[in-house]
Structure 1
Amino acid sequence: MRFVFAGLFSLILALPAAAAVDVQQVRSPSGIDAWLVESHDIPFVALEIRFKGGASLDAPGKRGAINLMTGLLEEGAGALNAREFATARDALAASFGFDVNDDALSVSAKFLTENRDAAIDLLHQALVAPRFDPDAIERVRGQIAMAIRSEATDPGKIAGRKFNAMAFGDHPYGTSENGTLDSLAALTRDDILSAKDSVIARDRLYVAAVGDITADDLGQLLDRLFAGLPATGAAMPGPADYQLHGGVTVVPFDTPQSVAVFGQPGIDQDNPDFFAAYVLNAVLGSGGFSSRLMREVREKRGLTYGVYSYLYPMDHAALILGQVASGNGRIAEAIEVIRAEWQQAQAQGITETELEAVKTYLTGAYPLRFDGNGNIADILVGMQLQGKGVDYLVHRNDMINAVTLEDVSRVAARLLNAEALHFVVVGKPEGLSSTN
């Protein structure tokens, strides 16, 4: 997220640990739902808004339109051009952030209580009446084009894009939300207007607020903020069928170090076995220097500075992904070790010692995420998007602690598949060639 955070806001204190966060479910007079945590110690409010669907709602042939539109939301609205809008926002000591991925468009706002009404009016204009002035369109289009060109020289980005394209084909997940240079150049102002109505609509709206505001005041604020939005947006895309099989794809690139992105099908976040899979992956690949992959690939063999894996549940697909970088002469060995560790975890699960250590880490680290109004609001809106209830905050650590060694072994045997792992390697790897 792109935030310009006024210096005063750095003084905001963290709320209590997760279990002590009192979440109210608020419904505005017009029927907009939101979650609220009141905290009146400091005259400040953090607001997190999500519009479900995100850049995956790009119309056919218009890839990159929603991303371009998102970048223009702070480039002038209503009677204010881009410079006037920025001046008005800064005069209020407010900050607005706009971002998008394939599953959601995010809006973040932070403002002082004394400027709340004016800040909301300004944000309302950005959501309802963005100007999309020609000069702003060309300026932001140029920034995105620069990012596309930069990504074309980044081995990690190249590997990720290639993996997605092979995994998801024609589904929006298969292409970058930036679009291509050609698709970006072809977008018109009418395309941008259509993109806005596709995603910024009330039927896909999620809101969380934390700070110096009451439930009644929040309800009134929501109706003012979202007045005039379309009732419905574009239809959600269908499932993203995973199309990759195990193997290796080499993308030649002149660099002394190869980068590999690897993955296989994963597990949905609402699956009853998700927490067992989460614990499993924490031991296998996401636990920093304590993870098996780091120990075997880096510490024992010195093949890389870093290797990791993570669960990646999206709205329309779920993956287990990872990344490693190594010298061209050693990347083949790094891949061999990763496959071996995957196979061992699949066959044997983890140990009791590993299970207890990772439980201690995961449950102890969780409250540390609640270290400010903005972070709490972000967590709450994310919970709503995932379909979780407010009691998740209280019971999340209990669900981690409830995972047994037998659960992890069962899930490892079912979920992990070393033969299904596909590695996209960008560089000049020695001893590796594409298998497909």
Structure 2
Amino acid sequence: MNTTLFIALRYWRSKSADRFGRMVTNLASFGIILGVMALIIVLSVMNGLESMQKRNLLSSLPHAVLSLKEGKLTKDQAVKFPVFIAKSVPINQTNVVIQSKNSINAGQLIGVENSNDDPRLTELNIQQQLPKSRFNVIMSYSLANQLKVNKGDKIRLMITENSRYTPFGRVPVQRLFTISDLYFSQTNDSNTLFANLSDVGRLLHIYPNQTQGLRLFLDDPFKVSQLTDYFDQNKWHISDWREQKGEFFQAVKMEKNMMGLLVSLIIIVAISNIITSLSLMVVDKQGEVAILQTQGLTKNQVMQIFMFQGSIVGIIGAILGGGLGILATVYLSDLIHLISPMGIVLPTEIAIPQVISIIVISILLSLLCTLYPAYQAAKIEPATALRYE
């Protein structure tokens, strides 16, 4: 074994006469364990909440809408997509004013062709419910309750973005639609209506072989920022889910960063105790250090002894804290049930690269904190330390 590592291990395992210094060392090790454990649990819970919100809020939205800046997209036009785009479907969409006999509301009309064009329509037979040129529409149950309508009723849709001139002036394009079916919406996008793609195109004066663009569904919604690398922004216009939900996820990300920063202070305070414990040990062991120097130990080797000793505390604390943090995260719901049996389940997601980063950074910080005490130990002069021995 390396001589300096051997001496450092002996110092670490010995029952020091300085009980206060020993207590500070134990507190530093315990603080690192507690801080690393808490940081892993907090970040895993925040990761789980972020993933849950991503599934719940973004599962029913097109992750991006791709359209030409000039002209319309033809249905047979070939578009090269990156590998992370799971699905693309043609789309015609517009904002509408919805009028029934009893109420009025605003919403968005989207044209579809198949049941898999939108996650909210997978259980419906779109070809049967939305045949071409019949001007049928499907809406959510919550919107139907607001408008006080049901299946089979007629509603008037007015397109404010498109208008025509009449003897009475310029009026928006409008059309009566028949409600053919209703769907459940678990998100706040309940004001979305679905009609046949060609019917929506006719209202927008779009040729049957053309569409406004393509709805893109990605394997990971957070990859939308990479779309600009594949599509020329001078030719294509890209709108994505961040326009509707971006502020919410920015708030979640900021909260995650702040929680991580606050819990990291526990680790920083614990690691700073290494400086105190090593400084006390330098004072306690200066006679032994002086004797070792007279026997041939160099100043660099003296520094290594105390650096090894502080690193041992940091490595053991970081590894134990990482293991306990992962274990506590896996059984977090059971632990919460023991404390408060209210049936609360916290979603968790352990990110292994994140855990490794926490452990490695904790070890590096503990190593950094050993430099000053180790430098003070290397400055010990044998003649001065052994003068009164």
TM-score class normalised by the smaller sequence: under 0.3
Higher helix share: 2
- TM-score, normalised to structure 1, is 0.20
Structure of greater relative contact order (alpha carbons < 8 Å, 6+ residues apart): 2
- TM-score, normalised to structure 2, is 0.21
